Structure 1
Amino acid sequence: MEFSQEENNKIPLSRFESMLKTNNVLFFDSNEFENIIHHYLNQGKVALAKKAIKLGLEQHPTSVNLKLFKTEVFIFENELDKANNLLDQLYVLEPSNEEIYIQKANVLSKENNHQKAINVLKKALTLTDDAADLYSLIGMEYLFLDQFENARDHFMKCLEADPEDYSALYNVIYCFDFLEQSDEAIDYLNLYLETNPYCEVAWHQLGKQYASLKEYEKALRAFDFAIISDDTFVGAYIEKGRVLERLKRFNEAIENYTITLTLEDPTSFALLRIANCYEKLGEKKLAVQYYFKTVHEDPLLDKGWIAITKFYCKLKNYQKALYYINKAINLDMENVNYWKLYAKINYRLNFLEEAEIGYKRAIELGNYELDTWLQRSDLLKMLGEPEAATFNLLQAGQFYPENAEIEFRLAGLYFSLLEFEKSSYHLNNAMRFDADQIIILEELFPDIYQSIEVKNLLKKR
C-alpha cells in the first residue's frame, strides 16, 4: 500500500522520524511500518527503509510482509543468496502468498534466469485476484529474452486487466515498433480507443504511428484528439509541430511549439524547432533570436550550436560561424561534430593550418569517416607536408582497403616524393579498384598526371 499524503496518514511517518532523532522507542503497528517502508523505498531512501524494517521486525518478528520488504532490499543490494534463503523460509509459512513468488522471480531475473522467472510469475497468476501487475512483469521478462511477440501479448493482457496502465500501453507499442508492425499497432490502438476514447496517451501513440507511415493528415487528427483529451499534454503539441513542419506549415508548427513553452519550462528542443521554422520562413532575425535562446537554455546541446553555426555558414558569414563554433568547442572539446565544422569553416576562410587541426582532432576523437581522412590529407598536401599526408592515407587504408580515392592520392604523393616504385604500385591498385576515379589524380596532381612517367604507366595497363 502506498503511503498516503493525507494529514492523518503523515503522523506515523513524522512520529517515526522523530523517534530516530530522539532515540525514544515508540510503538507502531505492522501496517504503519509497511507504509513507512514503502514511502522510503519509493523515495529511494534505502538506508531509512532498512532502519524501519529492522525496528519493525523487532516489534513484529512474525510479520511476513515486513520480511518481504527485507528481501526486496536484499535484491536491490544484490545480496541474492540472502534473499533466496529468506524467501524459502517465507514460502514454508505462506505458500500461497503471491508476493513471495514475485520476489523469487525478481531474484531469478537478477540472475538472468528469465524463463524460470516467467514460470514462477505464471504460478503467482493462479494465486491472485489482481493479475495486471503480474502480466506486466511477465512481459518485461519476455523483453529480456527478446521474445517481443510474447512480451506484447502479456502487456496486452495487462491492459485488459487495467486499461489505465499506460506504461503497459507504451510497452505494447514498443513491441509493435520493434516487430515493424505499424499497421497492427494502428489497429490495436484504434480498438483500444473504442473503449478508452479520452486516453491522450493512446491518441498520441496513434499519431506517431501515422506519422511514421507519412500519413500526416491522420497523424494531425490523432494529435488533436490527444490535445482535446488533455490540453496540457506537451508531447502531443511537440509531435503535432513536427508533422506540421514536414507539411511545410511552419507558422502552425511555431504555434504548437510555442504553446509548450507556456505549459512547462522552455525546452531547448522546442526553441530549436521554432528557430528552424523561422529560418525556413525567411525570418532571419527571429531565427537567430531563437537559436540564441536555444544555446542559452542548454549550452551543452550540440544541435543548438551546430544549427546557429550552419545558419551563419548559409549566409556566408564565416567569421561569425567561426566565432560560434569556437564557443561550442570551448564548452565541449570532445565533440567530433564541432571539430568537423571548425575544419570546414576554417577551410572556407583559407585558414588551412586550423582546418587541418580540426580534421586531425576529429580523427583523434574516433571519427573515421572516409571524407575526414581525405580532407585532411588534401590539406596536408596543400600545406607542403606530403609525408604527413601519405602517413594519414596509409592509416585511412586500414579502414577502407581497396579504395581508389585513397590509392590515387597515394600514387600522386609518392610520385612527388620521388618514390616511383611505390607510386606505380598505388597507381596500379587505384586503376584496378576504380579507373574512373583517375580524375582525382588529374585535379590534385595535374603536373604528375601529365608527366611522361605516369602516361607510360597508364599505357602499360
Structure 2
Amino acid sequence: MKFNHEEENNFSITRYESMLRSNDVKFFDSDEFESIIHHYLENGKIAKAKKAISLGLSQHPSSVNLKLLQVEVLVFEDRLEQADTLLAQLHAIEPENEEIYIQKANILSKRNEHFKAIKLLNKALLYTNDEADVYSLIGMEYLFIDDFENAKINFMRCLEADDQDYSALYNIIYCFDFLDQHEEAIGYLNMFLNKNPYCEVAWHQVGKQYFDLKEYKKALAAFDFAIISDEYFIGAYLEKGKVLEKLKRYNEAIENYRITLELDDPTSFALLRIGKCFEKIGNDDLAIQHYSKTVHEDPLLDKGWIAITDYYMRKRNYQKALYYINKAINIDGENVLYWKRYAKINNKLAFFEEAERGYRKALELGNYELETWLNRSDILRFLGESNAAVQNLYQAIEFYPDNAEVQYRLAGLHYERQDHDKGEYHIRKALELDYEYHIVLEELFEKVFHLTLVKNIISEYKVN
C-alpha cells in the first residue's frame, strides 16, 4: 500500500505524537523529523518544534537540515549570536548549501543590515534549485529599504521563475502603486496575461489599476475577465460592484455584491455597499435593513455605524441618529468620527452641554479641525462659560494662527468681558487678516458690533 506525501507526513506526525504520549522512544529518519518540525513551525507551535529538533538531533546528530531548522528557531527567538555560531559551523561542512546563506541573510536583515543580506541572498542564487523563493526574499529586503524599483525587478524575476507565485505578483503591483506607475502596471500585467490569459488575479489587478485611473469601463471589462477565469472569485465581484456604483448602475452593483454573499459568509463591506446602493435608488427600507445587518455582522466597523447615523441625520431624524451614535460610542469610545457626529446631533437637538462634551472629546482625541474649535467656543459662550471659550480659541490659534474667524470671536468675547485692550488687539488682527469676515462679529456679537469704538476701528480698515 502506497501513501502520497501528505499522507506520509500525517502518518509520521501521528506516530511521533503517539510516541510522546507513551514515552516509548521510536526511531524516525531525518526526513520524517524535518516534516514533523515543519508542521509545528507552520502552526506556530515553537515549543513542540524545539522538542522535535532535540529528539531529531539525538538520533541524527550530523543532520545539517535539522541543524538549519534549529537555526530557524534561534533566529525566531532573537538568539542571533547562537544562530550565527551554528551557521558558521554548518558553512564549514556544506559551503554550497543555499539555506545557510538564506539564514545568514535573515540574521543580517533582523540587524537592519539589508545590503549585506541582499549580497548573501545573491550568493544563495548560485546554489539554489528554487530561484523564485530567493528572488522573493531579495525583493523583500529591497522593500525594507524603500527601494521599490529594485524590489519590483526581483519580484518580477520571482514570477518569471514561478508564474503561480501570486504573492510576488501582488508585491510587483504594490511597487507600481507606490511609485504611482499605473500605466506601467497595466502594461506589465497585459504582458503577463499574454502568457497566462486565464489568470484571475492578474485580471483583477488590471481592473484595480483602471479603477484608480477612473477608466471605469475598462475596469469593468477586466473584472468580467477575472470572473470568467474564476466564477468563484469574490474579490472580482466586490470590485465590479464598486465600478458599477461609480457608473451609477446601482441595481447591477447590488447583484454583484449579493453574489459574494452567496459564495461565502456575509461580509460587512458587501452589506454596507448594498445599503448605500439602495439608498441611492431611493429604497430607504432596504437601505436601513442592510445598514442594520452591517453593524450586526461587524459591530467594530465604524463605516456601518456612520452610514446608519448619517442616513437619519440626512432625514433630520436626530433622535434616531443620536440613538445609533450612542450605540457606536458604547462599542468604541475612542473613535473621533463618532464624537464629531455626537456633537453635531446634540447641537441640532439643542442639547448644548452634551454637544460641548462631544466637541471636547473630539479635540482630546486629536481632531483639530477648525470647525470643531469654532463650534465648541460658540457653545461654551452660549452656556455662559466665556473663560473656557476664550481658552478654547487660544488653543485654536496654535493650529490656525492666521484665521480671521478665530480672531473675530476672541475680539467679541474680550469686549463682552469688558477687556477692551485685548478686544481691540484681536479685532485689528482679524481685520488685517480678512476685512469681509467682520460679518462674524455682526452675527454672533451684535451688541459688540454696534459699540462706537468697534464701529470706528472697522471704519478705519474700510477706508484703508
* TM-score of the two chains, using structure 1 as the length reference: 0.98
1:226 matched to 2:221? The reply is: no
Query: How far is the alpha carbon of 1:460 from its aligned partner?
Result: 4.1
The amino acid of 1:338's aligned partner reads Y
Q: Give the secondary-structure state (helix, strand or coil) at the position aligned to 1:188.
A: helix
Query: How far is the alpha carbon of 1:360 from its aligned partner?
Result: 1.0
Match of 1:162 in 2: 162
Map of 1:248-259 to 2, 5 A cutoff? 248-259=248-259
The amino acid of 1:327's aligned partner reads K
1:100 matched to 2:108? The reply is: no
Mapped contact 1:237–1:257 kept (Cα < 8 A):
yes
Over 3 Å counting, the alpha-carbon distance change for 1:358 and 1:437 in structure 2 is same
1:395 matched to 2:395? The reply is: yes
Q: Counterparts of 1:112 and 1:122 in 2: how far apart (Å)?
A: 17
Mapped contact 1:4–1:10 kept (Cα < 8 A):
no
Match of 1:296 in 2: 296
Over 3 Å counting, the alpha-carbon distance change for 1:227 and 1:235 in structure 2 is same
Q: Give the secondary-structure state (helix, strand or coil) at the position aligned to 1:222.
A: helix
Match of 1:145 in 2: 145
Match of 1:410 in 2: 410
Mapped contact 1:30–1:56 kept (Cα < 8 A):
yes
Query: How far is the alpha carbon of 1:4 from its aligned partner?
Result: 7.3
Mapped contact 2:136–2:168 kept (Cα < 8 A):
yes
Q: Counterparts of 2:147 and 2:8 in 1: how far apart (Å)?
A: 46
Match of 1:366 in 2: 366
Q: Counterparts of 1:157 and 1:436 in 2: how far apart (Å)?
A: 62
Deviates more, 1:85-94 or 1:422-431: 422-431
The amino acid of 1:457's aligned partner reads I
1:111 matched to 2:111? The reply is: yes
Match of 2:75 in 1: 75
Q: Give the secondary-structure state (helix, strand or coil) at the position aligned to 1:269.
A: helix
Map of 1:221-370 to 2, 5 A cutoff? 221-370=221-370
Please give the per-residue CA displacement for 1:228-257, whole angstroms capped at 9, x wherever unaligned. 111111110000000000000000000000
Query: How far is the alpha carbon of 1:7 from its aligned partner?
Result: 3.2
Q: Counterparts of 2:214 and 2:365 in 1: how far apart (Å)?
A: 37
Mapped contact 1:237–1:260 kept (Cα < 8 A):
yes
Mapped contact 1:376–1:389 kept (Cα < 8 A):
yes
Query: How far is the alpha carbon of 1:262 from its aligned partner?
Result: 0.9
Q: Counterparts of 2:130 and 2:330 in 1: how far apart (Å)?
A: 56
Q: Counterparts of 1:4 and 1:34 in 2: how far apart (Å)?
A: 17
1:121 matched to 2:150? The reply is: no
Q: Counterparts of 2:321 and 2:7 in 1: how far apart (Å)?
A: 58
Query: How far is the alpha carbon of 1:24 from its aligned partner?
Result: 1.3
Q: Give the secondary-structure state (helix, strand or coil) at the position aligned to 2:192.
A: helix
The amino acid of 2:406's aligned partner reads I
The amino acid of 2:326's aligned partner reads N
Deviates more, 1:397-406 or 1:142-151: 397-406
Mapped contact 2:200–2:227 kept (Cα < 8 A):
yes
Mapped contact 2:9–2:35 kept (Cα < 8 A):
no
Query: How far is the alpha carbon of 1:351 from its aligned partner?
Result: 1.4
Deviates more, 1:324-333 or 1:170-179: 324-333
The amino acid of 1:326's aligned partner reads N
Please give the per-residue CA displacement for 1:274-321, whole angstroms capped at 9, x wherever unaligned. 000000000000001101100110111111111001101111111111
Please give the per-residue CA displacement for 1:130-179, whole angstroms capped at 9, x wherever unaligned. 21111111011011111110000010011111111000000000000111
Deviates more, 1:289-298 or 1:427-436: 427-436
Gaps of 5+ in 2: none
Query: How far is the alpha carbon of 1:5 from its aligned partner?
Result: 7.0
Match of 1:422 in 2: 422
Match of 1:380 in 2: 380
Query: Could you tell me the percent identity over the aligned residues?
Result: 65
Q: Counterparts of 1:56 and 1:63 in 2: how far apart (Å)?
A: 9
Match of 1:64 in 2: 64
Q: Counterparts of 2:372 and 2:263 in 1: how far apart (Å)?
A: 43
Cα RMSD over matched residues?
1.2
Mapped contact 2:412–2:441 kept (Cα < 8 A):
yes
Q: Counterparts of 1:180 and 1:77 in 2: how far apart (Å)?
A: 38
The amino acid of 1:355's aligned partner reads A
Please give the per-residue CA displacement for 1:14-56, whole angstroms capped at 9, x wherever unaligned. 1111121221111100000000001111111111110000000
